[in-house]
A and B are shown apart, each in its own frame.
Chain A
Amino acid sequence: MKPRPARIGFYLALRQLQRTSVWTTGLIIFVMVLTFLNLVVVYGILVGLIQGAVDQTRVQYTSDVIISSLQDKKYIENSPNIVSLIEKVPGVESVTPRYREAALLEANYKTRKDTDKPNTASAQIVGIDPIREQAVTGIAQYIIEGSFLEPGDYDKIVLGHFLLSQYIPVQSPAFQSLDNVGIGTKIRIKVGEVTREVTVKGIIKTKVDDISVAAFMDDAQLRSLIGRTDGNVDEIAVKLEPGVDPTTVRDSILLSGVGEFAKVQTYEDAQPQFLKDIIATFGMLGAAFSSIGLVVAIITVFIVIFINAITRRKYIGILKGIGIHPRAIEYSYVFQSMFYALIGSAIGLGIVYLILVPSFLANPIDFPFSDGILVAPLNETMMRIVLLVVSTVLAGFVPAWMIVRKNTLDSILGRN
């Protein structure tokens, strides 16, 4: 019969855990739970702040795949054919072509004296088909005053809330906005040399800048304003059926030759570089904060096991004395540490996935630029559990190893 130190180690660990103080075990597990939450939640919230912004931009503006004009082109050539082609790509649910044009908005122009400063704001005018746009982005739900556009809405406009001074929390000279404009107010829009008077039909509020500083009008009217009669648009947002991979659709659109006329990107490709940098930076910050928590946990476990091993030094000596393999004694501490880490992680997992993630989804953190959520992908969480368990096991092994290697008789007799 071959001696099995791991088996004896497990036997000893189990009994020590069973018969040790519930409070001590509870306290160590509590520290482990806090460490787990520190590892997962701090990182998850920091990344979630930006991820919230990314998700909102995806849902409200770019959708899953966004097609825009080439760098050296004013618009997407051959747009009508491209739209019909995209609509036939498997996995595509709906498509919304958009016109975009820079414009100057002016209010109170009828009552303004020559000496008064013009009440103007620069904006992107976005020409949309309200039905198609609603199918892709559901934009109408973000209306906070008035109502959204309907097909054939002539001389009507919907303004992003940042174009109106009453919705801007701070007054900045660099940030032009319109004063005294509300639902029913007539404003003038100037696109190039063409000016038209329109009525404000609705005010839309989201945390996506592409929407909050834009003005929306019916695409037919914007076409007439900019004099584009060929049906070529500036961008096309494509919504995919649930579960369809945007990369696959992007590649199949490119394969069909659309890349010759337009830039085809997934929502991730279209993220501005600064956003990607912020995600990376927040990720690093989260990892740094988590590391501090991990070090604290390692030290805690080390101290707990060290004190345990020191106070039990005599018994460790007896175990060695009666012939228990030193490795079995080390294993017993390793198993105890593993138990603390695994139970702590299991409780932490429950808290994160059964309580925190659903809570954050239901009640996101209201940040000015995003609705912060808790990002905790299961694969990354599992990695963190592995990290926690390995670190804790090491923290448990080292003090046990230090005590076990002391002279057997000195340990039994309590000699230094």
Chain B
Amino acid sequence: MSIIIKTNELKKSFTQGDVETHVLKGIDFEAIEGEFITIMGRSGAGKSTFMYQMSLLDQPTAGDILIRGRSVATMGEAERVQFRLNNFGYVFQDYALLPELTALENVALPLLMQGKTKKHAYIEATASLERTGLGHRLNNLPSQLSGGEQQRVSIARSTVHKPEVLFADEPTANLDNVASEIVMKIFEELHTAGQTIIMVTHERQYAENAERIITIDDGKIVKEEKGKHR
């Protein structure tokens, strides 16, 4: 198994007026292909910020990110967008579905952007939704779905194009226990199928589903432990 993501001395700080806040204070990290990693930490510890840097949604202040050995520091915005489309999938805490698109259309969007035909994209999107148990909700708008269902649509969208890494930012934070269990079960299935997953969570019981749990505090990795999933 090869290293898929590696960070060296990753730093991120925000400036507001004269005040500079250092959120990440030099993180060295490696994710192996096929790993399921959870990032934990208290609120404001920097776990989401760390994930945004790795997933190319944000740019670090210092340090380097290597994806399959290639530094992303020199990537322009257009290249980063294209890279995200082809290599990453995202699950957000608030589902982040487009309200005017049906479940099927939301899921098909990355495939259409990749240049696939509508027919092809819809076939793959249907299959992806069926994998998350939403084959009967294809033509529903997000407003017609429950929170758990919306998050499953979001997972279907994030995996439909078979990304190298699936990033999930607090995917169960807005869900009840039942819905959370369903979502975590889907993650486990994806991982079993070989999907690399990096998930931010503050819920210990779900973090333990991963192979590796890292804890961030005050902008640094302070603890690394193994999860239940081996």
Contact = CB atoms under 8 A, between A and B. Distances in A.
B162 interface: no
Nearest to B83: A323
B30 interface: no
Nearest to B53: A409
A314 B89 CA distance: 17
Interface in B27-76: 52, 57-58
A19 B109 contact: no
Given A1-B114, A1-B115, A8-B113, A321 B141 contact: no
Interface on chain A toward B: helix, strand, loop, or mixed SS?
Answer: helix
B110 A322 contact: yes
Interface stretch (B95-103, B127-135, B173-181, B213-221): B95-103
Given A318-B92, A409-B52, A4 B85 contact: no
Contacts of A315: 96, 98-99
Contact of B84 (A15, A20, A323): A323
B112 A8 contact: yes
A188 interface: no
Most chain B beta-carbon contacts within 10 A, residue among A2, A3, A19? A3
A385 B174 CA distance: 49
B123 interface: no
A3 B57 contact: no
Interface stretch (A117-125, A146-154, A268-276, A324-332): A324-332
B113 A321 contact: no
A412 interface: yes
Interface string B118-141: 000000000000000000000001
A336 to B, nearest CB: 11
A217 B21 CA distance: 102
A5 to B, nearest CB: 8
A359 B57 CA distance: 60
Contacts of A7: 112
Given A315-B98, A412-B96, A4 B84 contact: no
Nearest to B143: A19
Contact of B113 (A3, A20, A412): A3
A35 B100 CA distance: 29
A320 interface: yes
A407 to B, nearest CB: 8
B100 A321 contact: no
B100 A15 contact: yes
A279 interface: no
Nearest to B86: A323
A11 interface: yes
A15 B109 contact: no
Contact of A325 (B58, B113, B141, B157): B113
Contacts of A185: none
A319 B101 CA distance: 12
A4 B116 CA distance: 10
A256 interface: no
B115 A19 contact: no
B81 A11 contact: no
A72 B176 CA distance: 103
A15 B90 contact: no
B81 A326 contact: yes
Interface string A371-413: 0000000000000000000000000000000000001110010
Contacts of B105: 15
Nearest to A325: B81
Given A16-B100, A322-B89, A324-B81, 16 more contacts: A1-B114, A3-B82, A3-B85, A15-B100, A18-B100, A319-B98, A321-B84, A322-B157, A323-B83, A323-B113, A324-B109, A325-B113, A326-B78, A326-B81, A409-B52, A412-B92
27 contacts: A1-B115, A2-B115, A3-B82, A3-B113, A3-B114, A3-B115, A4-B115, A7-B112, A8-B112, A8-B113, A15-B101, A314-B96, A315-B96, A315-B98, A318-B96, A321-B90, A322-B84, A322-B90, A322-B109, A323-B83, A323-B86, A324-B110, A324-B113, A326-B78, A407-B58, A409-B57, A412-B57
